[in-house]
A and B are shown apart, each in its own frame.
Chain A
Amino acid sequence: MDLRKQQIAFYTALLFGALAAMGWGLKTAGIQGAMFGFFASFTLGGGLMCIWERSVVRSAFSLMATFCGVAGLFILLGHDFLAMAQILIYVGGILVLILFGVMLTPPDLNERQLPRVGLGVVAVVGALAFVGAKVAAVVNWAQAETLPPAETKAEQIGAAFLRADGYVIAFELAAVLLTVALVAAVYIARRKPSDLIDLTEEGGY
């Protein structure tokens, strides 16, 4: 099967998966369920695309769907602060850096010449979805009666991070870890003088 047909098959499967998820959500929990299906399929679909696509840039770009989907799930839970933070940090920051790094590396098609399972993956996913749907129809899932408090204010999140009985130690540890990672990254990425070759000698230039 050529590349184009594979792509079409994959994206069609993805689309139908998303529609199925939304329909299922609509059936079980009304409009909110449909929204959940929508965002969940965004989240999972982005991840699948990330694995599927050959171009590294497209893979990275597909993560945007994942992050946005997660943000959407946060909004559904009533945590708009977290949702916005998710977009601000992951979509606006981290993904840009990933793309930045990816775009600077050479476009090497060989890298992605992994044996593609192609239809196999689609079949497995389809089968799992089918089984999942069957199971869902039979099993009566316990649904949480109450969602976590919907109105988590920025104030409360801040306080939880900085109070002694909150997450202050984890927070500080994360800060230390990030600093260490940053310093290490700078150390690794720093160009040693020996790496600089005098390119003017190379001839032609």
Chain B
Amino acid sequence: MSEQTTQYKPSITIADQQAAAGKGAREFMMDVRTTDLEVNMGPQHPATHGVMRILIRADGELVTGAQPHLGYLHRCAEKIGENVEWLQYLPYTDRYDYLSSMNNNLGYSLAVEKLLGIEIPRRASMIRTICVELNRIASHLVAFGTYGLDLGAFTPFLYCFREREWLLMLFEKICGARLTYSYLRIGGVFNDAPPGWLEEVEQFCDVFDEKWVEYRDLLMMNHIFIKRTADIGVITPEQALDFGLTGPMLRGSGIDWDLRRDMPYMLYDEIWKAGVYQIPLGSGAQGVLGDCWDRVYVRVQEMVESIKIVRWCLANIEPGPTIAELPKVLRVPPGEAYVGIENPRGELGHYLVSDGGKVAVRCRVRGPSFCNLPILEDIMPHTFLADSVAIIGSTDVVIGETDR
């Protein structure tokens, strides 16, 4: 073992060479050996979504080792949560996973509401569901579009952003912000939807149903795309469970687990029982079960399922209050609560402990990207350098959330 592995130690540094030369040692390689390159992907690199750094060891084109490094975007979100008031922390949740801020708001709000033990008005839940699902689409559009970009397909990215732009405009209309919404508040939503907003959402759903087919045919069913992603970065179902993956990463490996159905919150139980949506699963349609293609296709299908949920909400929404009556200074009864919600990237859990004061005693976040990341180390070796980009893209990590 040691005899052989010494050959593959990181490439000789100049200092080593000079030391060897100083000793007068002359070594001849008996075998033509190629050097291992240590390629630093990130923190500033076009392939990494955000400031992620992955140290890749490559033997020519073959990746022999990969190690993700974290912490370039650490902002002490959890510690801040233990120092600011309950409501004041809400805007910080926007910043973990900035592509799905609505979901983050929802996760935190639900956890606090569980501690408070309050009932949310039904209209508020409806609007929440609409916003969260639209945000899921917006997030998946980025994931899908940038994945195309990673594989060199530029145009689908901009098509995705065209639809995302509409979504962002919708969000802007309802809450005034395009990225960090802070719209879903503890007890409901900040304000009611402006007049005409729900109709515009309806329009969006109609358009998106057509466009979705376009995306699928343009990129997902592209021959080159399939060749690049099928059989690459395979995560077996066992592996997926071992690493505690959640979200599309887990479902891409064919494991039927979706918190919206299995640990329901808000109205999702009712929606599921109404038979509105399905949970798309990876099937290995183009290759092995759990490959990159499966993961990406799960996301693409989820967008349509989200549209179905939005449509159901639009059909069943009724007038009423949109926020529960709460005191100005929130004092949360003592206790602890954990609420996990289905973020676009997997399970976003908030664990909150209160001692009855204005500030949380403990605020812990279980981020899906963070928990989905370590598997890179396992699936990246023995692939090609180009595959590593495909694999990183298919995990769809948002670094804001891995580091928090």
Binding site for B on A (CB under 8 A): 101, 104-111, 113, 197, 199-200, 202, 204-205
Contact = CB atoms under 8 A, between A and B. Distances in A.
15 contacts: A104-B60, A105-B34, A106-B12, A106-B33, A108-B29, A109-B21, A110-B20, A199-B8, A199-B381, A200-B65, A200-B378, A202-B5, A202-B65, A205-B65, A205-B381
Contacts of B25: 110
A144 to B, nearest CB: 45
A197 B4 contact: yes
Contacts of A204: 65, 67
A111 B17 contact: no
A205 B26 contact: no
Contacts of A108: 12, 17, 27, 29
A201 to B, nearest CB: 8
Contacts of A107: 35
Interface in B357-404: 377-378, 381
Contact of A110 (B5, B27, B34, B66): B27
A113 B23 CA distance: 13
B57 interface: yes
Nearest to B65: A205
Contacts of B21: 109-110, 113
A197 B60 CA distance: 15
Contacts of A105: 29, 32-35
Given A109-B21, A110-B25, A199-B381, A104 B8 contact: no
A109 B28 CA distance: 11
Interface in B55-71: 57, 60, 64-67
Contacts of B17: 108-110
Contacts of B8: 197, 199, 202
B28 to A, nearest CB: 7
A93 B60 CA distance: 20
B40 interface: no
Given A106-B12, A110-B21, A205 B57 contact: yes
A107 to B, nearest CB: 8
Contacts of A197: 4-5, 8
A113 B17 CA distance: 12
B29 to A, nearest CB: 7
Contacts of B155: none
Interface string B103-138: 000000000000000000000000000000000000
A202 B5 CA distance: 7
Given A104-B60, A110-B21, A200 B381 contact: yes
A197 B34 CA distance: 14
Given A106-B12, A108-B29, 15 more contacts: A105-B32, A105-B35, A107-B35, A108-B27, A110-B25, A111-B29, A197-B8, A199-B8, A199-B65, A199-B381, A200-B377, A202-B8, A204-B67, A205-B57, A205-B65
A106 B64 CA distance: 17
A100 to B, nearest CB: 11
B278 interface: no
B26 A110 contact: yes
Contact of A104 (B26, B29, B35): B35
A168 to B, nearest CB: 36
B64 A205 contact: yes
Interface string B133-146: 00000000000000
B35 A106 contact: yes
B26 A106 contact: no
B9 to A, nearest CB: 8
B286 interface: no
Q: Please indicate which of the listed interface residues B8, B26, B64 has the most CB atoms of chain A within 10 Å of its own CB.
A: B64
Contacts of B57: 199, 205
A113 B26 CA distance: 8
A25 B60 CA distance: 48
B44 interface: no
Contacts of A113: 21, 26
A3 to B, nearest CB: 13
A204 B377 CA distance: 11
B88 interface: no
A113 B11 CA distance: 20
Nearest to A110: B26
A204 B33 CA distance: 22
Contacts of B65: 199-200, 202, 204-205
Contacts of B378: 200
Interface string B1-22: 0001100100110000100110
Nearest to B36: A199
Contacts of B26: 110, 113
Q: Please indicate which of the listed interface residues A106, A110, A205 has the most CB atoms of chain B within 10 Å of its own CB.
A: A205
Nearest to A195: B4
A113 B24 CA distance: 10
A110 B23 CA distance: 11
Given A197-B5, A205-B65, A111 B34 contact: no
A199 B65 CA distance: 7
